[in-house]
Amino acid sequence: MIDLYSWTTPNGRKVSILLEELGVPYTSHAIDITKDEQFDPAFLKIAPNNRIPAIVDQETGQTLMETGAIMLYLADKYKKFQCEGAEYWRMMEWLMWQMGGFGPMLGQVHHFVKYNRGKSEYSEQRYLSEAARLYGVLNTRLDGRDYIAGTGRGEYSIADMACWPWAARFDFHETDLKDYSNVRDWYLRIAERPAVQRGYQVPKYVSDIPMP
């Protein structure tokens, strides 16, 4: 049994989607970051950086924070959604790309454009420009591919699950996915998956999955 401590953010949804795709038993615990529940001492024992999501594996006693580590742990434990051979490292490359760029930079768009517009025109333009560049990078990668990593047209993996919830906030980024047709097709392909639809609503329903 996995205990998932999470909230309705792109990072939180990365792990809930993976757990739903794996089809393993887990219990979801809401950590409402709008009420600063991530600073509760009990949560701090699980996630010393005070960020969601985090997990506790009741079978092994393993606690983990940071989505990349959590996703790799779960994919390895259940032997699913990891590419093999040289493509393992391609999958890893794009997982790192999401954690180092696609997530953090889009998060800055959320901060300066969605929630604090008008406070720093420089920051708004800087991060909107970087968001457009990163969508372009992903669009190029997906040219002729169904998924980010894997041989042939690709194989659905944790690299896709890591990137997709961030792309699901394309409206926050003032991005029209029609301008990135490969990303749009990839986004819709994943949005149709029942496990993604379930995982998107963990730990609670906020809205339907946005459609471009």
For 87-136, the pLDDT digits (tens) are 999 999 999 999 999 999 999 999 999 999 999 999 999 999 999 999 99
Answer yes or no: do 137 and 155 share one domain: yes
Is 181 a member of any domain? Answer: yes
The structural domain count of the chain equals 2
Question: Does residue 90 share a domain with residue 126?
Answer: yes
Residue 145: CATH number of its domain: 1.20.1050.10
Task: Examine the domain organization and report whether 40 and 112 are in the same domain.
Answer: no
Q: What's residue 135's pLDDT?
A: 98
Q: Which residues of the chain have pLDDT under 50?
A: none
Residues 125 and 67 in one domain: no
Q: Are residues 27 and 9 in the same domain?
A: yes
Q: Are strands 54-57 and 26-30 parallel, antiparallel or unpaired?
A: unpaired
Could you give the C-alpha distances from 183 to 83, 100, 161, 196, in angstroms and in order?
20, 19, 13, 17
pLDDT value of position 201: 98
pLDDT of residue 26: 98
Please state, in angstroms and rounded to a whole number, the distance separating the CA atoms of residues 32 and 52.
9
Tell whether 93 and 189 lie within a shared domain: yes
pLDDT of residue 105: 98
State both tokens at 23.
């089809």
The answer to whether residue 31 is domain-embedded is yes
First to last CA, the chain: 36
Residue 165 pLDDT: 98
Per the DSSP assignment, residues forming a β-bridge with 128 are none
The answer to whether position 204 is within a domain reads no
Q: Are residues 52 and 110 in the same domain?
A: no
- pLDDT digits over 112-126, tens only? 999 999 999 999 999
Q: Are residues 32 and 91 in the same domain?
A: no
- In this prediction, residue 24 carries a pLDDT of 98
Q: Note whether residue 151 is domain-resident.
A: yes
pLDDT of residue 31: 98
Q: What is the DSSP letter of 173?
A: T
Q: 133 is in which domain, residue-wise?
A: 86-193
pLDDT number for residue 158 = 98
pLDDT score at 183: 98
**Considering 24, 51, 78, which residue would you say is the last residue of a domain?**
78
Q: 107, exposed or middle or buried, with CB in 10 Å at 0-12, 13-18, 19+? A: middle
From 43, 78, 113, the end of a domain falls on: 78
CATH code, 71: 3.40.30.10
What pLDDT score does 70 carry? Answer: 98
CB atoms within 10 A of CB 96: 13
Do 70 and 92 share a structural domain?
no
Residue closest to 148 by CA, chosen among 158, 12, 17: 158
